[in-house]
Structure 1
Amino acid sequence: MLDIYTYAKRVAIAALIVLLIVAGFYMLSQYGYFFLLVFAGILLAVLFCGMTDWIVRKVHMKRAIALAISVLFFFGLLFAAFWFVAPTVGEQFQQMRQTIPESLDRVQDWLSEQRWGEQLLSQIPEDPSSMLPEQEQILSQAGGAFSTTLGFLADLFIVIITALFFASDPALYTRGLAKLFPVRTRPRLMEVLTRCYHDLRMWLIGMLAAMAIIGISTAIGYSIIGLPMAFALALIAFLFAFVPNIGPWIAGIPAVLIGLLEGPDMALTVLLVYGGIQIVESWIITPIIFQKTVALPPALLLFFQVLLGLVQGGLGLLMAAPILAVLLVFIQELYVKDVLEAKPEDASASDVPESARATAKR
C-alpha cells in the first residue's frame, strides 16, 4: 500500500510539473514581456540585496540605511562612469558611425572581385536610394523611434521601482509566495527560494567579473595593436558579454569592420586578438570564476537563448541565462531531489495520510 501511495505521489508531481511547464510557455508567449520585466526587477533586487547584506555583515548597520547606501553607490558608480567615459566614448561612437559604412563599402568592393560575391551583389539594387522609404514613412519611423525610446525609459523605470520594492523587504514577498502552498511544504519552498537567491547572486557576481575582465582586456588589446576607437569597442564588448555564447561574438563584428579600414592585416590582427581573448575567457577565466559561483550547461543555455529570443526578442535573449539558472534550481531541488531521489520510507513517513497508514497496518 505504501508503494502505491509513493508511486501515485510521484506521478501526480510529474504531471503537475508538466502542466506548469506548458502553462509557463503559454503565459510566456502571451504575456512574456511583462514577466521578463518583473524578472529583470527581481535580478536587480538581488544585486541590491547582495550589496546590502554585505554592508550589514561588515558594518552592522540597519538594513534600510545599508540598502540606501547600496542603491546610491550603484547609481553613483554608473553616473561617475558615464561622466568620465562618455566624452571619449561618445566621440568614438560618432567616428564609428562614419567609418563602419566605409568599411562596408570595402567589403562590397572585395565581394565584387569574387565570383560568388558578384552573384550576391547582383541581388542588391543598383540604385540604393530606391530602397529608402518615402518622406511619410520616414516621419512615421521617426515617431516610432520616439515612442520606442519613451517605452524603453518607462520599462527601465518599472524595473528600477520593482527592484527597490523587492529589495526593501524581500521576506514579505517570499513569505507571501510560500503562503500559497500547503503548510507542510512551506519550509522546503523557503529553502528553495533561498537557494535561488544565492545562485542568482553568485551568477551576477561571476558575470560582472567576467564582463569586467573582457572589457579591460579588450581595451588593452585593441590599444596595443593600434586599433582606432578602442574604448568604444571595448565598451561594446563589455556590454554584450552579459549575453553568453552569442553576445561576445556579435561585439567583435564592429571591431573587424573598423580594422578593415586600416587594411586586411589589421582586420586579421583584430580577429586574432579578440578571438584569443574570447578563447582564454571561455576556457580558462570563466571556468575558474563559475567554479565558485554558478555554471550553466553551454548547449542548454544556447538552446534556451534561442527559444526566448524567438519568443520575446532582445529582452528574452538578455534574461535567458538568469532565468535558466533559476529553472535549474527548481528542477534540481523540487524534482530531482524531492521526487526522483526521495527515499520511499521518508515519503511514507511524511506524506502518506494517517488513515492510509492505519489501513496499511491492518
Structure 2
Amino acid sequence: MLNVYLYAKRVAIAALIVLSVLTAFYLLGWHAYFFLLIFASILLAVLYCGMADWITDKLHLKRGLSLLLAVLLFFGVIFVAFWLIAPTVGQQVKEMRQTVPQAVSQVQHWLTQFGWGEKLMQQVPNDMSEVVPKQDALLSKVSGMFSSTLSFLADFAIVIISALFLAANPSLYTVGLSKLFPVRHRVHIREVLDKSYTTLKSWLVGMLSAMAIIGVSLAIGYNLIGLPLAFALALIGFFLAFIPNVGPLIAGVPAVLVGLTVSPQMALYAFLLYGGIQLVESYLITPLIFQKTVDLPPALLLFFQVLLGILQGGLGLLLAAPILAVLMVVVNELYVKGLLEASPVNAAEEEVE
C-alpha cells in the first residue's frame, strides 16, 4: 500500500514539474525579454559577489567594503581598457566600414566567374536606389534607431542597478524565494540556489578566461601575419567568444573579408590562423578551464541557443549558455536526485515528517 502511495506521489510531482515547465515556457514566450533582463541582472550580481568574496578572502575586509571595491574595480577596468584601446580600435572600426564593403565587392566579382555565382548575383539589384530607402522611410528608421538606443540604455541601467541591489544582500532574495515552498523543502531549495550560484560563478570565471585567451591570441596572431585592423578584429573575436558555438563562427567572417582586401593569400592566412586558435580553444583550452567548473553538453547547448534565439533573438542567444547551466543544476537536484533517484525509505521518512 505504501509503495502504491509513493508511486502516486511521484507521478503527481512529475506532473507538477511538467506543468511548471510548460507554464515557464509559456511565460517565456510572451514575456521573454523581461525574464532575460532579470537573469542578466542575476548574472552580473554573481560577478559582483564573486569579486567581493575574493577580495574578502584576500584582504579580510567587511563584505560591504569588499563589494564596493569589487564594483569600482569592475567599472575601473572597463574604463581603463576603453581609454587605452578606444582610439586605436575606433580608428580601425572607421577603416573597417570602408574595407568590408570592398571585400564584399571582391567576393561578388569572384562569384560572377562561375555560372551559379552569376545567377546568384543577378538576384542583387543593380540600381542601388532600390536599396536606399526614401526620405520618409529613412526618417522613420532614424527615429526607430534613436528609440532603440534609448531603450537599450534604459535596460542597461536597469540591469546594473538591479545587480547592485541583488549583490548587496543576496540572502534576502534567496531566503524569500525559499519561503514560497513548504517548510520541509526550504533548506534543500536554498542548497539548490547556492549550487546555482556556484555554477554561475564558475561558468563566468571559465568564460572570461577563455575570452581573454582568445582576444590576446587573435591580436598577436593578426599582427604577426600583417592583417589590417588587427585590434578591432581581435576585439570582435573577444566579445563574440561569450556566445559558444555561434559567436566564433560569426567573428571569423570579418577577418577573412578584411584579408581579401589585401590578397587571397592573406585571407587564407587569416582563416587558418583563426581556425587554428578556435580549434586549440575548443579542444584544449576550454576543456581544461571547464574541467572543474561547468561542462555543458555541446549538442544540448546548441539546441537551447536555437530555442532562445528564436524566442528572443540576440539577447536570448547571448544568455543561453548560463541559463542552461542553471537549468541543469535545478533539474539534476530537484528532479533527478530529488525524485527519480530518491529511495522509497527516504521518501517515506520525508512524508512522515
Normalising by the smaller structure, the TM-score range is over 0.9
Moved more, 53-62 or 89-98: 53-62
Does the 8 Å CA contact 1:305/1:317 hold for their aligned counterparts?
yes
1:322 match: 322
Structure 1 stretches of 4+ moved >2 Å: none
Cα shift readout 1:298-332 (whole Å, capped 9, x = no counterpart): 00000000000000011000010000001000110
Aligned with 2:293: secondary structure? coil
Does the 8 Å CA contact 1:178/1:189 hold for their aligned counterparts?
yes
Aligned with 2:31: secondary structure? helix
CA-CA distance at 1:129 after TM superposition: 1.8
1:360 match: none
1:213 match: 213
Does the 8 Å CA contact 1:10/1:339 hold for their aligned counterparts?
yes
2:128 match: 128
Could you tell me which amino acid in structure 2 is paired with residue 170 of structure 1? P
1:183 match: 183
Whole-Å separation in 2 of the counterparts to 1:169 and 1:349:
35
Matched, 1:61 2:61: yes
Does the 8 Å CA contact 1:5/1:352 hold for their aligned counterparts?
no
For 1:297-336, list aligned pairs within 5 A: 297-336=297-336
Matched, 1:73 2:73: yes
Does the 8 Å CA contact 1:41/1:163 hold for their aligned counterparts?
yes
Cα shift readout 1:117-140 (whole Å, capped 9, x = no counterpart): 001011111212212110111111
1:30 match: 30
1:86 match: 86
Give the TM-score, by structure 2 length. Answer: 0.99
Could you tell me which amino acid in structure 2 is paired with residue 105 of structure 1? S
1:358 match: none
Aligned with 2:295: secondary structure? coil
For 1:230-309, list aligned pairs within 5 A: 230-309=230-309
Aligned with 1:242: secondary structure? coil
CA-CA distance at 1:350 after TM superposition: 1.5
1:111 match: 111
Cα shift readout 1:252-287 (whole Å, capped 9, x = no counterpart): 100000000111111111111000000000000000
Aligned with 1:275: secondary structure? helix
1:3 match: 3
Whole-Å separation in 2 of the counterparts to 1:9 and 1:205:
40
Whole-Å separation in 1 of the counterparts to 2:304 and 2:200:
17
Does the 8 Å CA contact 1:179/1:186 hold for their aligned counterparts?
yes
Whole-Å separation in 2 of the counterparts to 1:292 and 1:349:
34
2:149 match: 149
Whole-Å separation in 1 of the counterparts to 2:351 and 2:266:
67
CA-CA distance at 1:13 after TM superposition: 1.4
Number of residues of Structure 1 aligned to a counterpart in Structure 2: 353
Whole-Å separation in 2 of the counterparts to 1:66 and 1:143:
43
CA-CA distance at 1:334 after TM superposition: 0.5
Whole-Å separation in 2 of the counterparts to 1:56 and 1:221:
38
Whole-Å separation in 2 of the counterparts to 1:255 and 1:2:
66
Could you tell me which amino acid in structure 2 is paired with residue 200 of structure 1? L
Unmatched tracts of structure 2, length 5 or more? none
Does the 8 Å CA contact 1:103/1:258 hold for their aligned counterparts?
yes
Unmatched tracts of structure 1, length 5 or more? 354-362
Whole-Å separation in 2 of the counterparts to 1:6 and 1:222:
63
CA-CA distance at 1:5 after TM superposition: 2.1
Aligned with 1:193: secondary structure? helix
Give the TM-score, by structure 1 length. Answer: 0.96
Whole-Å separation in 1 of the counterparts to 2:243 and 2:10:
36
CA-CA distance at 1:352 after TM superposition: 4.3
Could you tell me which amino acid in structure 1 is paired with residue 255 of structure 2? A
Whole-Å separation in 2 of the counterparts to 1:25 and 1:352:
34
